[in-house]
Amino acid sequence: MRRAAVLLISILFISITLIAQEEQVNQDEMMKVWMEYMTPSDVHKHFQKLEGTWTTDIKFWMAPGTEPTSSTGEAVGEMILGGRYLKFTHTGNYMNMPMEGMSLESYDNSKKELTSIWIDNMGTGMMVLKGTISDDFKTLEYSGTIFDPMSKSDMKVRQVSKMLDDNKMQMEMFMTYMDQEFKNMEIIFTRK
């Protein structure tokens, strides 16, 4: 009986010790994963290069086969929340009306995925796109949808942004209308 009690106490002690060690390993691993998740990566360092004031030369195509309309504006990029997100504030004119917009670019270290959010004073909706970045950090490709208030349905959107050099970038947006993709917008950003 005494041997059984000593054996039972020994097993219980070893079990508690093993559980405590496993919990410490789990806490250490959990802390490591969260630190990797929250630490700005090389993609975030690329975003940092886009900070500053840019002039924007914009072309809009209203439908496939139409001539573009042109306008100019300004975009100001800044990193926020400890270098984790790139916020661009845009100002200009669209169809002879003042336009204000804001984009928020993020890179999720865990998902290895870009997210771009766009809002402006031309509507009350929000465009959310998901995408990838090339290994050389020069091309960002996004896709998603934007709500079309005329058709009361989502329209497919594809966006490609390219760094042409350290002081110039190009953003092209393509929309799918009646199963045909067409270039809807092009913006050339030139650093001031």
pLDDT one-digit tens code per residue, 164-186: 999 999 999 999 988 889 999 99
pLDDT of 32 strictly over 90: no
pLDDT on residue 1: 58
Q: Which residues contact 92 (CB under 8 A, 6 or more apart)?
A: 56, 58, 71, 72, 73, 74, 98, 99
Looking at residue 22, the DSSP 8-state letter turns out to be H
Percent of the chain with pLDDT over 90: 69
- What pLDDT, in 10s, does the model give residues 11-29? 655 555 545 555 665 888 8
Query: Mean pLDDT, to the nearest integer, of 124-134?
Result: 96
- Give the pLDDT confidence of 147-161 residue by residue, as tens digits: 889 889 999 999 999
Instruction: Report which of 155, 153, 162, 154 is spatially closest to residue 131, judged by C-alpha positions.
Output: 162
Q: Which residues pair with 148 in a beta bridge?
A: 153
88-103 as b/e: b if 16+ CB within 10 A: bebebebeeeebebeb
